Amino acid sequence: MRVIIIIGICLVMATQVNSFVGITWGRQQTQQLVPSMVVDLLLQNKISQLRLMTSGYDIIEIFSGTNISVSVLMGNSFMYQANRKDLAYNWVNDRIKDPINKGANIVELTVGSEPFSNTFLKQVTNYNVVPVLKLMRESLDEMGLGHVRTTTAHGMDVLNHTKVPSESDFRDDIKPQMIESLAEFNRTGAPFVLVMFPIHFVKDVMNYPIEFAFFDNNSGFKIKDGNITYTNAVELMIDSVAWAIKKAGYENMKIMIAQIGWPTDGYPHANVKNAERFHKGLLKFITSKKGTPMKPGPIDIYLHSLCDENQFNKIFGLFQRHWGIYQADGNPKYKIDLSLQGRDVLPTQAKGIVKMPNRWCKFNGDTTNMDLVNKNYDLACQVSDCSQLEKGASCDGLSYASKVSYAMNAFFQKNKQEVKDCDFDGLGQIVATNPSEPNCEFPIEILSFQDQRVQNGMVLRV
């Protein structure tokens, strides 16, 4: 499917000097926001920079006619598509040059997402990232696209974690690859792109008090490194990476934050209240332009992420489905001023959303055959998103019967409310009364991208 966008709008840029706050957008959802709605959300919230977690040319083209700067991602599992010169040239021609010729403002190509991960993304590591990175750089230059940066996004797990930043260094098992990557970044003037999630770093990596993850740290916990005192994890994490880069001989290399955020479910301390608190402190820190002790001055960041992705692979962590500032239906979860004016406001709500009818699928309560109930519960959760039901998540407190209802409804909604998809061997029933309970919403899906033929001035051609 190709997407043709008829859109004639200009972006009102956020007032900043030598730095920006952008946002990431991934598309691993059952029913997706119409892409033109995403463009509208970015414009309304004065977001001028987008890190697109895909390289689909039909999606990239929706940003033609805007001044939104787009960073395109080539994921680890897709590098085989560009591991030879001819393949790299064709990939760049189709995914970068063609959208640019149609008006998309592509400023960066990120080759690889945490390709040396030994934690969440270890199942999709790709140690061939540097050769592909060089092929992409060569292809871009040959096409006259030297202004498009090429880099790689690395997580904090490329480091041997230590108590203080000044002792940090790259892991011994990947140090040769990291040194080669840094040399390529330095040669082309690209930044070191960092993926960082303070909630995980504080809780599971370092076993620090969770308060250390917040800029308004109320615990009194701090880390001293020589004459420097760290009172929050974000500055400590950035400086840990800065020390490793310095030890490799590239002290002046810029560090850009490719992903930083706070999930709202599926993980201890992951909730709306903490997400709002974290982002409030983060944006205040970024707009101050003070930087960190090792990296003073403005810092470029991409908040992660625009909306939830309920099809993100569960093996990477259930919380990965709940990074969104917005719910999957375009409703904001918490207050955050994306225009960077420090206001206590909700971001703009997505316009033009079309929801399915107010119908839910619910367990009829028949427990005479619990083996059958359990079988259907497991079946529903294998296919749909039940991450909210996990231990410590928002719907963990439901009774078992209500959990079965939640799972059935998730399956029913994913399958566009087809009557047959609420049968479950006679155990399901379709109801018009919302079965949601306090702190646990039984969602209704929105109409999918494919189902909305004309929306917000967008014309689809199948």
Say what the pLDDT of residue 286 is: 96
**The last residue of a domain, from among 269, 300, 321:** 321
Lowest mean pLDDT of 31-45, 170-184, 243-257, 397-411, name the range.
Answer: 31-45
Mean pLDDT, the chain, integer: 89
Say what the pLDDT of residue 454 is: 37
181 in the same domain as 133: yes
What is the distance between the alpha carbons of residues 20 and 124, in angstroms, rounded to a whole number?
A: 30
311 in the same domain as 402: no
Say what the pLDDT of residue 3 is: 36
389 in the same domain as 263: no
Strand partners of residue 153? 113, 193
Q: Could you read off the pLDDT of 299-314 as tens digits, one per residue? A: 999 999 999 998 888 7
385 in the same domain as 247: no
30 in the same domain as 163: yes
Residue 151 lies in a domain: yes
What is the pLDDT confidence band of residue 34, given thresholds at 50, 70 and 90? confident
197 in the same domain as 52: yes
**Residue 406, pLDDT above cutoff 50:** yes
Residue 455 lies in a domain: no
Residue 345 lies in a domain: no
Say what the pLDDT of residue 55 is: 76
What is the pLDDT confidence band of residue 18, given thresholds at 50, 70 and 90? low
Q: Could you read off the pLDDT of 93-152 as tens digits, one per residue? A: 999 999 999 999 999 999 999 999 998 787 788 889 999 999 999 999 999 999 999 999
Residue 348 lies in a domain: no
What is the pLDDT confidence band of residue 392, given thresholds at 50, 70 and 90? confident
* Cβ(108)–Cβ(91) below 8 Å: no
**Residue 370, pLDDT above cutoff 80:** yes
* Helix (H) or strand (E) run with residue 60 in it: helix 57-60
| Per-residue CA distances from 415 to 7, 271, 365 (Å) | 31, 27, 22
Residue 331 lies in a domain: no
Q: 93: which 2 tokens?
A: 């021609």
210 in the same domain as 287: yes
pTM listed for this prediction: 0.86
Residue 459 lies in a domain: no
What is the pLDDT confidence band of residue 289, given thresholds at 50, 70 and 90? very high
What is the distance between the alpha carbons of residues 34 and 44, in angstroms, rounded to a whole number?
A: 16
Q: For 392-404, what is the mean pLDDT?
A: 93
| Per-residue CA distances from 46 to 37, 229, 262 (Å) | 14, 35, 21
What is the pLDDT confidence band of residue 448, given thresholds at 50, 70 and 90? low
Lowest mean pLDDT of 95-104, 235-244, 351-360, name the range.
Answer: 351-360
Pairing assessment for the beta strands 301-303 and 255-260 based on DSSP bridges = parallel
* Cβ(99)–Cβ(65) below 8 Å: no
Q: What is the CATH number of the domain that holds 204?
A: 3.20.20.80
**Residue 390, pLDDT above cutoff 90:** no
**Domains contained in the chain, number:** 2
**Residue 6, pLDDT above cutoff 50:** no
Between the two ends of the chain, the Cα-to-Cα distance in Å is: 5
**What proportion of the chain, given as a percentage, has pLDDT over 70?**
93
**What proportion of the chain, given as a percentage, has pLDDT over 90?**
73
Owning domain of residue 402: 360-445
218 in the same domain as 79: yes
Residue 372 lies in a domain: yes
**Residue 2, pLDDT above cutoff 60:** no
179 in the same domain as 95: yes
Say what the pLDDT of residue 26 is: 92
